[in-house]
Amino acid sequence: MKPKNEKVLSNTQRAVHDLRGMILSGQLAAGTDHLESELAEHLGMSRTPVREAALMLESKGLLEMRPRKGVRILPVSPDDMCEIYDILTELESLAAQKAAEAGYGDDKLVPLAQSIDRMDNAIESEDLESWAEADDTFHRELVRLGGNTRVEKIVEMMSDQVTRARAATLYVRPLPLKSNEDHRAVYQAIRNRDPETAHARHRRHRLHAKAVILEILEKYRFSKL
């Protein structure tokens, strides 16, 4: 049996996927400009699907289309980080609360528990890359359990915008030793169907994360990322 998962993506979809990847990986660096025609050639398609993709990524906040200056990959300033972390704080805490209200059984919480374990292991072996990946999974899964599809979309959008910043600061941050305490507390609150605690604890977690990041940005004089 051949896997029928070979979906036929349109060029526009491919362009969105590829451009997003190139932006998040830093291959298209923050602050740089790129002509539609260059991007089109690089992706092996005409300008039309590239423009459509750029329009979509523009409304996701990853880039900006400026007539005759090309497509600009948007940098993220400390002020932007501040805005984004404030939003993530509110919406993820809401998700934690809703997840606790939903009363999930342990089986539904397995991915959450697993990501916490993976973070423990990663810290043990000081593997920051896998820690970051597991942390992402935890947050994404938490939001998913919150059950608000719009919150999911918004959080994903915001996360995309800070991905480069996270990568840049990962190795100058203190080891997030205490961080998993929060994760566990949130997880337990959801298991115990305690919305108040889930909300409050996750909120605290995010506020702390924001403070840590902003301190780093200040200390290392990162003005654009």
Partner DNA sequence: GCTGAATTTAACGTATACGAAATAAAATGC
Partner DNA sequence: GCATTTTATTTCGTATACGTTAAATTCAGC
Instruction: List contacts with DNA (CB under 7 A).
Output: 8, 10-12, 35-37, 40, 45-49, 51-52, 65, 67-71
Nearer to DNA, 39 or 151 (CB): 39
- Reduce the DSSP state of residue 89 to 3 states and report it: helix
Options 28-36, 106-114, 144-152, 175-183: segment touching a copy of itself (CB under 8 A): 144-152
> Which residue, 54 or 134, is less far from a copy of itself as judged by CB?
54
* Torsion angle defined by CA atoms of residues 61, 135, 125 and 173, in that order, rounded to the nearest 10 degrees: 50
83 sits near a copy of itself (criterion: CB under 8 A) = yes
75 binds a copy of itself (CB under 8 A): no
Window contacting a copy of itself (CB under 8 A); options: 1-9, 88-96, 99-107, 205-213? 88-96
Would you give the DSSP letter of residue 45? Answer: S
Kindly state the smallest distance separating residue 99's Cβ from a copy of itself, in Å. Answer: 13
In the stretch 157-196, what mask flags binding to a copy of itself with x, by CB under 8 A? -x--------------------------------------
Adjacent-strand bridge partners of 73: 63
Nearest-5° angle of CA 154, CA 158, CA 159? 115
* 77 forms part of the interface with a copy of itself (CB under 8 A): no
What single-letter amino acid sits at 215? E
Kindly tell me the burial class for residue 175, based on how many C-beta atoms sit within 10 Å of its own C-beta (0-12, 13-18, 19 or more): exposed
**SS3 state at 73:** strand
* Cα distances (Å, whole numbers) of residue 210 to 78, 129, 207, 214: 11, 19, 5, 6
Residues 89, 159: Cα–Cα separation, whole Å:
12
| Cβ-based nearer residue to a copy of itself, 93 or 163 | 93
Between CA 140 and CA 112 the distance in angstroms is 9
The piece of 25-33, 110-118, 134-142, 150-158 that touches a copy of itself (CB under 8 A) is: 150-158
Q: How far is the CB of 18 from a copy of itself (least distance, A)?
A: 17
Site residues for a copy of itself per CB under 8 A: 48, 51-52, 55-56, 59-61, 83-84, 86-87, 90-91, 93-94, 98, 148-151, 154, 158
